[in-house]
Structure 1
Amino acid sequence: MSPGPAAGEAARERSRRLTLRLWGVLCLCAGLGLGAWAWQRGQAAPQASGYVVVDGLAYPAPVEDTKAYNRQMEVMGGKGLVAVEAFSRWLGGLSRSRVFAGLLAAAGLGLGLAFFRIAARPAVRDDEDPGQSP
């Protein structure tokens, strides 16, 4: 006795559901793990890379925020280099934000739950066309 086409479809359906559930678990783990990493990193304050002296007092400040640094960057690479460097600093600061950590965790949770929801629904077969009735 051969198992027939119904057994093949059932095996394919189980395989599809297992794959979707695995993707769901992967998204959950990645999102929550990256969120936890970014949350922990968000506690670290950026360190000053230089000092600005005002009225005889030295204040810690990033060298990247000075006019001399921006002018030197513009001379070396033009306005494009200044824009790329500002974007790079923005991305670096974003990874130290707790809001970004929450977004990563929420995105991983949402994507994982979406995969689980899709896995729970039955697959649409080719011979079933909802637009046509017999």
Structure 2
Amino acid sequence: MEGSTVTGKLILPPANHTGLNMNNSKGLQKRTLEMEAYGNEPPQQDSSPPEKKGAVDPTTLFEMAVTGANEEINMLFAKFGDVLSDRVAADVSQMRELEGILLEAKSLESHLKEKKKHLGRTLALMSDKLTG
């Protein structure tokens, strides 16, 4: 049984049946007294900002610090991304250049091997004419 209303008053169930601890039960009792005092209407909260007497709310300071840290981290990530992007572009450019050099070296190697074979055949032909 949760709680029931009898003639505008909230009656709390016994604490041992609800599983509530004593602190929570005391809070409910306080709330019940407040409701009775205001005629079952919850008290109106003052929506005006609290007066500042040179003290700043620690929660506000924390939120400002977190916001500043988030902006700083985002800026660092953006810079890091830009640096990585530039580095990747440079690496790709260097890889293409190295692939071009490697292709040229293979072509030159093939050409020199062909020249060596041709020179070998020419020397063999000259040797055959001289010996024979």
TM-score above 0.5: no
CA radius of gyration, larger in: 2
- TM-score, scaled relative to structure 2: 0.35
